[in-house]
Structure 1
């Protein structure tokens, strides 16, 4: 599916909102599928965003994600520290160790 064209610009691809491969892998292990709209990519982005918001050093975030370019990692995830760092840290700390 594609978004409608905007002011003469070509249509942009819509990000996937469902991952049948993830659902299959989860089902093989006896787990429920991911909720509608949640993809492995969104989970990965959330995980990295939480690491950054909690002050994890960029090298560790890079290693966790398998990135080789620190600039890419920072460009992709630094927005979290600008907008919601305190909120995200409070949520993670309130959860406590598992």
Structure 2
């Protein structure tokens, strides 16, 4: 899934990334971590299953889901649905009031 966040009210796509990273750094979003511009969900059940790589554009940030490492009985489809919901929650809670969000299912 691609999640595109249009950043008109924040000014730049970098500002949207900064908002998310600040929330994680300030422990306001304790179930996430980031490495560079890639965001990872931390709870054990879904850890590493899906990650979101940020791609900066002129007026937006697109977060592209990437398949990670799954262990146990969960499938990528299970993780895909659940972790996307949690990522949207992160985005809406910490940057959402400052822009518009569009999602697109890019699975084939």
- Rg larger in 1 or in 2? 1
Higher RCO (CA-CA < 8 Å; seq separation 6+): 2
Give the TM-score normalised by structure 1.
0.28
**Structure with higher strand content:** 2
Greater helix share, structure number: 1
